[in-house]
Structure 1
Amino acid sequence: MTLVRAGVALAAVVVALVLQVTVFPHVAWQGIVPNLVLLVVVAAALVRGAQFAAVVGFVAGVALDLAPPADHVAGQWALALVLVGYVAGRVHQEQRPTATAVVATVAVSSFVGTSVFALTGTLLEAPGFEVGTLLQVILVAVLWDVLLTPFVLPPLMGMFRRIEPERVAA
């Protein structure tokens, strides 16, 4: 991973994180906000592959775990986003993915990431993780992420493609 690519990925994560914790709580639906940080990880995965996206997922997850108002055990989002980066990176292809493939990847990634986060919270017996509400939270999170996909993923994927285009992962 080059310094330029790492810097661009870090900047994208920071911007997404700031928007996610400052702007989007004002438009939360049932207390759930879109996971812009997850969308950055998916964009990195679709363009750069599983290895790069897993690293971005770890860094993004740790940042999300530590960003206020964090009310969960640190490491939950880091684990979830590493898995998201790896799984979404396995979808990576030589040619550009179709719009349907991108939306499907976001839906599956959102489901996997939110589920892993919720299940680890349940296993760690963290407060606020009632089994009865987990499915509803997961479904709302997936819906939010899919709704934002057409607005967020194309610019992010274009940005990751423009950074060292000859080195896009195979």
Structure 2
Amino acid sequence: MRLNRTLLAIVLLVPALILQVSILARLQLPGAVPDLLLLTVLGLALVYGHVGGALVGFAAGLLADLSPPADHAVGRYALVLCVIGYLAGLTRPETGRHRSATIPMAVVAGAAVISTLLYAGVGTLVGDTAADTSGLIALALTATLYDLLLAPFVVPGVMALARKFENDPLAGDQQAPPATDSAASWSGAGRRRGLRRPRSGRLLDKPLGGTGRGRSPLAGLRPRRGAGAAGLGGVKVKGIKRL
């Protein structure tokens, strides 16, 4: 991943894990525990896509496997969150943004169920003594309920931070226009359009005073010699020099 993605993932995942272990795990809620780490991975995966989501999920799961009081085999939760991050990243649209919150909330619900089942299944395959499949359905239902209640307070904020640090044109600003649509080309087109004369002004294309080459279009507007005398009614005044 790029450096900004790595730094943001560290900044978000470490506090999420601390809050998960120190506060949420001690609430003594019936059934499962709200998974703040899972919601953080989902928020990043919905912005980064399937590859970035898989990498973030693996790093988050490995961090949870190594942090106390983890009582399961190392790599078990890393595999689960890697798969979850990959699947959640596949739902990222080409435009980079979901048109509504329906798909992200559906992703949260599906991730809560799949992560619970996958965690129990991986524990069974590797012979982990901490694996317990009793009451799995009730555990999945409570995990879905808690994650859906917590998701509106976590996932949108994580996605907003990811888009901000991603500096992605789809998160806010649109892509820059091509060179043909640049400001210079538009102004050039405006100048070319400004040189066009309306049909009603075609008479100005030719000089009024003649058709000789090199003459200004306004040459015909210059006063002729003797115009002053003509303006006096054609009366010749003795002693006054004609212009």
TM-score, normalized by length of structure 1?
Answer: 0.92
Match of 1:42 in 2: 42
**Two-structure CA RMSD over aligned residues (Å):** 1.7
Separation in 1 of the partners of 2:130 and 2:73?
12
Q: Distance in 1 between matches of 2:32 and 2:112?
A: 13
Deviation at 1:166, TM superposition (A): 2.2
The separation in 1 between residues aligned to 2:141 and 2:32, in whole angstroms, is: 10
1:165 is matched with: 167
**For residue 18 of structure 1, what is the aligned residue in structure 2?**
18
Shift, 1:124, TM fit: 2.7
- The amino acid that maps onto 2:165 is I
**How many residues of Structure 1 are paired with residues of Structure 2 in the alignment?**
169
Distance 1:21 1:131, change over 3 A: same
User: Where do 4+ consecutive residues of structure 1 move more than 4 Å?
Assistant: none
Query: Residues 168 and 78 (structure 1 numbering): CA distance in 2 closer, same or farther, change over 3 Å?
Result: farther
Contact residue 46 and residue 91 of structure 1 kept, 8 A: yes
Looking at structure 1, the residues matched to 151 and 82 of structure 2 have their Cα atoms a distance apart, in angstroms, of 20
Whichever residue aligns with residue 40 of structure 1, its letter is T
Amino acid at match of 1:91: T
Residues in 1 aligned to 2:131 and 2:142: alpha-carbon distance in whole angstroms: 15
From 111, 115, 118, give the equivalent of 1:116.
Answer: 118
CA drift of 1:36 comes to 1.0
List gaps (5 residues or longer) in structure 1.
none
2:58 pairs with 1:61: no
Q: Give the Cα separation in 1 of the matches to 2:18 and 2:163.
A: 23
Asked if residue 126 in structure 1 is aligned to residue 166 in structure 2, the reply is no
Counterpart residue number, 1:78: 78
Q: Is the contact made by 1:44 and 1:53 (CA closer than 8 Å) also made in structure 2? A: yes
Report what 2:182 is aligned to: none
C-alpha distance 9-168 of structure 1, shift in aligned 2 (>3 A): farther
Partner of 2:127: helix, strand, or coil?
coil
Structure with the bigger RCO (C-alpha within 8 Å, sep 6+) is: 1
Greater share of residues in helix: 1
Matched, 1:87 2:87: yes
Deviations 1:100-151 (CA, angstroms, capped at 9, x unpaired)? 1111011111211221111111223323433332222222112111110111
TM-score (norm 2): 0.65
- Pair member with larger Rg: 2
Equivalent residue of 2:91, what SS?
coil
